[in-house]
Amino acid sequence: MRKPSIDLYHEWLSQPVLEENERTELLQITADTAQIEDRFYCDLAFGTAGMRGVCGMGTNRMNRYTVRRAAAGLAQHIASEGGQNAGVVISRDIRRFSDIFARETAKVMVAAGIKVYFFESPHAVPEISFAVRRLGAAAGVMITASHNPREYNGFKAYGPDGGQLAMAASDRVVAAIQSLDMFGHTEMISDDELGQNPLFEMIGEAADQAFLDTVASHSINPEIITQTADDFSLVYTPFHGTGLRPVTAILDRIGVKNLIVEPHQAVADPDFSTVKSPNPEDMEGFALATELARRHNASLIVGTDPDADRVGVVVRDASGKYRTLSGNQTGALLCEYVLSAKQAKGVLTPRSAIIKSVVTTELIDAIAKAYNVTLFNVLTGFKFFADRIAKFEHEQSFTYEFGFEESYGYLPFPYVRDKDAVSTVMLICEMAASYHARGMTLYDGLIALYEKYGYYAEKTIPIVLPGKDGMERIAHIMQSTRENMPDEFGSIKIVRKQDFLENREYLSDGSSVALGDYPKSNVLKFYMADEATFVAIRPSGTEPKVKLYFSTAAGSMDKAEGQLNYIMGAVRSRFGL
């Protein structure tokens, strides 16, 4: 049974290993019972992508002690699999404490007798995934909080395939973590010993070049860049993060001449001082890049989040207005581009396959049918993409062509097994250049896509419910909805109800069938009669939020958006959100 929060608070205060600033931080909340409760009511969860949280002292915070315990749990798992000699690759982004947390992880791993490959400077998510595979490592750790606000950091764990730690392995790591005392069971070496230990190896330039060589070699249509290089331009922003070096390097390699980097956001800045939040989903963050694009008459803006696993795209429409594309829109455009380019080259086969998450737009179903490729749906989280690709390879059943999920994550090529913004930016430039060669912008391409397949409108609404009360409310929403499934939203009837925790689909005639071989996940999805319209609800695995997903289609964008707005209003009313 878990100790009361106040007892854990005093237990932490009594630890002699605390540094002065850590003890001071705890003493400052002595009279704040709400803060004590929030910091100690639970342990920071190890979810679909490791653990992530606000930096600070407490069991429900990212700090040296929670990171050490997570590293020790992962080290136990590596050792149980005989992976000490294969080792672990460790990297980090530019956030506060990222360098400290990375070194703490390395000190724990080396103390456990595990070889460590340590990136000497901040690197992007796809680079660590690639390095794990290239070095044949047993695991990887990326210290990052992706696109979260500046107060956050995280510990992201990878398996030997370069994908996020698989569920069975993650369960073992969680069990190991929970068996460890926060202060008493974690062995580690000192900072001075780390640099001298033969198990500790710095990596950098060779890994960088191998990654860039591989990305460049997978360009689908390199000649289009050469053809349009003189008059095609784009603006790029790394949102103060790790994308600057690899993205600019790869665009230079493929021959992009007119690349304009937003200078203020090219500065590594853990405070992300030019944006409210370093999230490429938000148009607000593109304000500086948009002004730069106007001055240079650029029709395309791309931005990568701080660890360069997500990509946001802004395009200019026919009226000159700059519009942020949704993750669904960018993914659909890329899917159409990849399949059409590969079809033109004659490399699509009956075994070609694409992957999307279950909460991603149904437009991809229509695209897959048009190109006669097989579509696989997986749960949210790129560990499930990696698992599916590994199954393709093991069974020699399908050839992976492309995959993405609506939350701005794309995986163009399987040499990386996590979201890859670097390769994606290369493909986005190719795609935009191909439209440019035809006298079209990427926004024109989006309209052409809708005219071909129908007008799809989608929206993801994240509802942040922080603290213990918020987490309890999220749990109540999911449980009560599962126990009392709606039959309609407003006046729109539901024809299929999918419960991924029970792995059952409930039909309108009262019958039910198994959903398939999905791992159990706390996701509910509701289909309307036209099958292109759905609503899904899912709690985040690493953040105190619940996400609502909406997708619909119609013969015009006005009709699609009207229907979408109606359903969103009905759903939010139904759940009181």
Cβ atoms within 10 A of the Cβ of 396, count? Answer: 8
Cα within 13 Å of Cα(514), Cβ side: 5
How many angstroms separate the CA atoms of 531 and 533, rounded? 5
Distance from the first to the final alpha carbon of the chain: 32
Burial 477-489 (b: 16+ CB within 10 A, else e): bbeebeeeeeeeb
Beta strands in 414-533 (DSSP E): 455-464, 488-489, 492-499, 504-507, 512-514, 524-528
- Residues whose CB is less than 8 angstroms from the CB of residue 305 and which lie 6 or more positions away in sequence, other chains included: 146, 147, 239, 241, 243, 278, 279, 280, 312, 408, 421
Q: What is the dihedral of CA 212, 215, 217, 223, to 10 degrees?
A: -110
For the question of residue 319 being annotated catalytic, the response is no
Find the DSSP H helices in 198-286: 205-217, 222-228, 244-253
Cβ atoms within 10 A of the Cβ of 515, count? Answer: 16
State CA 419 to chain mean position distance: 6
**520 within 8 A of 503, measured Cβ to Cβ:** yes
Cβ atoms within 10 A of the Cβ of 149, count? Answer: 13
Closest CA to 338 of 406, 417, 410: 410
Beta strands in 397-478 (DSSP E): 399-405, 409-411, 455-464
How many angstroms separate the CA atoms of 191 and 199, rounded? 14
Please tell me which residue in 5, 91, 129, 146 is annotated as part of the active site.
146
Catalytic residue numbers? 146
